[in-house]
Structure 1
Amino acid sequence: MYRIAIAALLGAISLTACAQQASPTAAAPAPQVAEGPVEQTVRDALKQLDPNFSPDYIGAAPFPGFREVIVSGQVLYVTDDGRYLMQSQPYDIQKKAMATSAGLLQYRRGLLATLPHADRIVFAPPNAKYTISVFTDIECGYCRKLHQDIAELNRNGIAVEYLAFPRMGLGSKDYTDMISVWCASDRKAALTAAKSGQPVSPKTCTNPVAMQYNLGQQLGINGTPAIFAADGSQLGGYLPPAQLKAALERIDAAGGGR
């Protein structure tokens, strides 16, 4: 609903790269964040645009004079006086990464923490130095390319924890195939086979695919792969192993999590 509201407010903005369908399960609740008077000013200003406008999070932006606003995963910036709104996420030239605040990273970590480790498909080396959460699809080309790098990533001390994001939406063949992968007796082998283009054997079970997909939408994912570092930083889509390791090292050097 709020995706539609944002589109109306900002002039028919497309917030997703594929058609979204009604979800059979509820999305995970957003972590609660305390708000001060400036955040309330921004919230009140947004309600002037639409009384039903209800952001999931409002906090200090990574640059002065603005609040960072999240609604249905979309990151917006509003001036502290509530007058101006911007959609584009700025790039931090010094850090060579998208500008993100400590509050936004905490928000993302809180959401990711709601997804049980047992529901992830994990490819990890012994004593991994870094762990990345990757929302994946079994058909997208760059998802398959990333999976081909698994051995190299593991050699570099990077554990990959896969989460399901069927980019064609819930109810699609992509969705049912990913359920079959998550229901396989050997999920790692099933995922590897699916990403190599082999037919997926139909299976059903109680599974986390819809829940992971819904939470991915809360994080603003509109394409795959979507890679998150342990501190909540989104590292973008596909990155070659050397670039991905370098990005994780920069986060580590800056005091981010592993």
Structure 2
Amino acid sequence: MKRILFALIGAISLSACAQAPQGAAAAAKTDPAKPAAEASKGAAPKVEAGSADARAVDAIRTLNPNVTIDKVGPAPMPGFREALAQGQVVYVSDDGRYLFLPGSGGALFDTQVKKNLSEDSLAGMRKDLVKTIPASERIVFAPANPKHTVTVFTDVECGYCRKLHSEIAEYNRQGIAIEYLAFPRMGIGSDDYKKMVSVWCAADRRKALTDAKSDHGSVASKDCKNSVTQQYNVGQRAGLTGTPMILTADGVQLGGYVPPTQLREALDKLAAESKKPAGAAKPTAAVAAPVGGL
């Protein structure tokens, strides 16, 4: 299971199923109710007070006080320190302000305002990509008068996707409309892909999706002209690294599985932040993570 970058800002640790292909049986056995154990108050290497190394440790701690930092020292590029934190490489500017996390997608954070500086351009790109999927090709579960609408790239075999869908009524009670797009993480042509095609070809897509995500995971096999491949390609271009992936109407990525109440809180906060005067700091998200880590 991969964790995206938002956890570092004390926001989200991605509860998601990895994109890498794996057997359906293994995916079905995933128990999203039992995530990896949270890290206890993490240790850190001894550093000289006031040094660049100390500022790097403090910067990481500011964003996530529980993270374990195994090593800190000079980075390959001048002006930065390199830290190893819970299996990930983190680069922090010598003054401790900017933190860069390489890997999937990469992100540059301003630790003073706790903002993902990469997110604005990425969000706009994701928003434009999602627009290419016609509304008629989305499977929608919505309350009568939604306060927020999110797009969720989903997979029928992923344990966290199933957990999210099992709580769909509560998301709707929270005023959240969910528009599903298909992302068969096992790849085009896989059994997973064929199941999702069957869902999108069903006369009642909502029922078919619910049936496919049930414990038995059954759905009548069907084929037709469909947009599953297009949706999968859009997910890849949007930087999806695991399912589910939740996007706001503005293209901001809120993580993988996020409990209904916490998702509503995050959406409310983002909506409030968007009304602040120009130049005011706008956090990427603010959800208490159910899973610890980077």
Alignment of 1:87-236 (within 5 A): 87=102, 88-91=106-109, 98-196=116-214, 197-236=216-255
Unaligned runs of 5+ in 1: 1-15, 20-84
| Contact 2:202 2:222 (8 Å CA) reproduced | yes
Greater CA drift, 99-108 or 195-204: 99-108
> Residue 146 of structure 2 aligns to which amino acid in structure 1?
A
SS of the counterpart of 1:207? coil
Partners of 2:250 and 2:229 lie apart in 1 by 24
Q: Shift of the alpha carbon at 1:121?
A: 0.3
Tell me: CA distance 1:99–1:239, structure 2 relative to 1, closer, same or farther (3 Å): farther
SS of the counterpart of 2:178? strand
Tell me: CA distance 1:101–1:235, structure 2 relative to 1, closer, same or farther (3 Å): closer
Q: Which has the higher contact order (CA 8 A, sep 6+)?
A: 2
Alignment of 1:47-58 (within 5 A): none
Unaligned runs of 5+ in 2: 1-17, 22-99, 276-294
Alignment of 1:61-100 (within 5 A): 87=102, 88-91=106-109, 98-100=116-118
Q: Are 1:249 and 2:251 matched, yes or no?
A: no
Q: Shift of the alpha carbon at 1:17?
A: 3.6
Tell me: CA distance 1:232–1:94, structure 2 relative to 1, closer, same or farther (3 Å): farther
Q: Residue in 1 aligned with 2:27?
A: none
Q: Shift of the alpha carbon at 1:86?
A: 7.0
Q: Shift of the alpha carbon at 1:18?
A: 1.5
Tell me: CA distance 1:104–1:215, structure 2 relative to 1, closer, same or farther (3 Å): same
Partners of 2:115 and 2:172 lie apart in 1 by 24
Partners of 1:177 and 1:95 lie apart in 2 by 44
Partners of 1:209 and 1:131 lie apart in 2 by 21
Greater CA drift, 222-231 or 101-110: 101-110
The structure whose Rg is larger is: 2
Q: Residue in 1 aligned with 2:20?
A: 18
SS of the counterpart of 2:211? helix
Tell me: CA distance 1:94–1:186, structure 2 relative to 1, closer, same or farther (3 Å): farther
Q: TM-score w.r.t. structure 1 length?
A: 0.64
| Residues paired across the two proteins, number | 178
SS of the counterpart of 1:152? helix
Tell me: CA distance 1:203–1:251, structure 2 relative to 1, closer, same or farther (3 Å): same
Sequence identity (%): 54
Report runs of 4+ in structure 1 exceeding 2 Å deviation: 85-88, 90-104
Q: Shift of the alpha carbon at 1:123?
A: 0.2
Partners of 2:132 and 2:116 lie apart in 1 by 24
Q: Residue in 2 aligned with 1:45?
A: none
Tell me: CA distance 1:103–1:207, structure 2 relative to 1, closer, same or farther (3 Å): same
Tell me: CA distance 1:121–1:210, structure 2 relative to 1, closer, same or farther (3 Å): same
Greater CA drift, 86-95 or 142-151: 86-95
Q: TM-score w.r.t. structure 2 length?
A: 0.56
| Contact 2:182 2:232 (8 Å CA) reproduced | yes
| Contact 2:19 2:186 (8 Å CA) reproduced | no
| Contact 2:199 2:205 (8 Å CA) reproduced | yes
Partners of 1:95 and 1:245 lie apart in 2 by 22
